[in-house]
Copies of this chain bind each other. A is one copy, B any other.
């Protein structure tokens, strides 16, 4: 259980297989986010059809509602939401620290107010692990402190506390059918990142996460942090870059040796009517699409693109029909998963290096094209992974 087998590599990029109680994860892999034990607007059947394997759910949200003991009593998270493939829960740390002004950190843990009803709660490493054991995901996370990357003095304090909490998380964890991952912190400081990577790598975690990125730093800072961290991590353990990101981030992450990603971006964009496409991100509410008989992306193999026109989806958006969110979510998630499948195949057949510039051109160029004055631009869609998901 929880063995990680590397099938092929191209420089830092790896194609592997991570064995879990709910089947083998083929890496690199992108995990859709099902915050409240549902990937918003999609049935498990639709998720399977679009090729999802790993699904992430949030400890903070499920602890508050419906409660981790209720989920346990109804058979655990897989049974509760009827997802038969691997699952991952975060530790709740990120969400709790996002509750600025309403949480109080001490050495033992964090006291915070529920965003639902303002009630007081307390997470410690031991409590986070106990909740995650009740939820029952295949991969669970150590309780960590994610700090503001621009607060350099505090970054060291938070990192050192994260290390002590990593050890407490390990001691607290009992279920042998769950892989507990440690989390590397250290903000955008290369020395702290290196120190954290070495410390977390020295502990007996079956997998290692890289936290505290995609939280306000620049893309260059994110890439430099990865370049410092991944060479210091053991080859035979999967690496998980938490809460990242855009298609471009996935390409850059895989090229730097990351195996697992998650982000709310594809489903959140979908709820803002924005779809990934070869022309850039399309705002499908734009009047230019009213009579457009093409699919969102003619190269896409998803149910939405194989079935519906942009004109129809635009109508659903304008008419405030919820099906729009479902159809765009299917497309956006499939786009991310297909990109991962393409990268994995290219690592396996040794074409990754050759194809890398094309992917970057497509998806970075894609981001550029958003700045065009042409039809269908998306403005100000929040890209990070905030508590509201």
Contacts and interface: CB of A to CB of B under 8 A. Distances in A.
Find the residue from A37, A309, A319 having the highest chain B CB count within 10 A. A319
Contact of A66 (B36, B66, B315, B326): B315
Nearest to A321: B38
Contacts of A315: 36-37, 65-66, 70, 80
Interface stretch (A40-48, A121-129, A189-197, A240-248): A40-48
Nearest to A49: B45
Contacts of A314: 66
Nearest to A65: B319
Number of copies: 2
Contact of A40 (B36, B37, B61, B321): B321
Contact of A291 (B38, B65, B74, B319): B74
Given A43-B46, A74-B309, 4 more contacts: A44-B307, A70-B291, A74-B312, A80-B311
A138 B303 CA distance: 26
Given A309-B74, A312-B80, A312-B81, A66 B318 contact: yes
A325 B326 contact: no
A108 interface: no
A41 B305 CA distance: 18
18 contacts: A36-B315, A36-B316, A38-B316, A40-B321, A40-B322, A44-B307, A61-B319, A65-B315, A70-B290, A70-B291, A74-B312, A80-B309, A80-B312, A80-B315, A81-B312, A82-B307, A82-B312, A322-B322
A321 B303 CA distance: 22
A327 to B, nearest CB: 7
Contacts of A316: 36, 38
A7 interface: no
A73 interface: yes
Contacts of A291: 70, 73-74
Find the residue from A42, A75, A316, A321 having the highest chain B CB count within 10 A. A321
Given A66-B318, A316-B38, A318-B65, A311 B43 contact: no
A1 interface: no
Find the residue from A43, A293, A327 having the highest chain B CB count within 10 A. A43
A154 interface: no
Interface string A285-328: 00000110100000000010001110110111011011101110
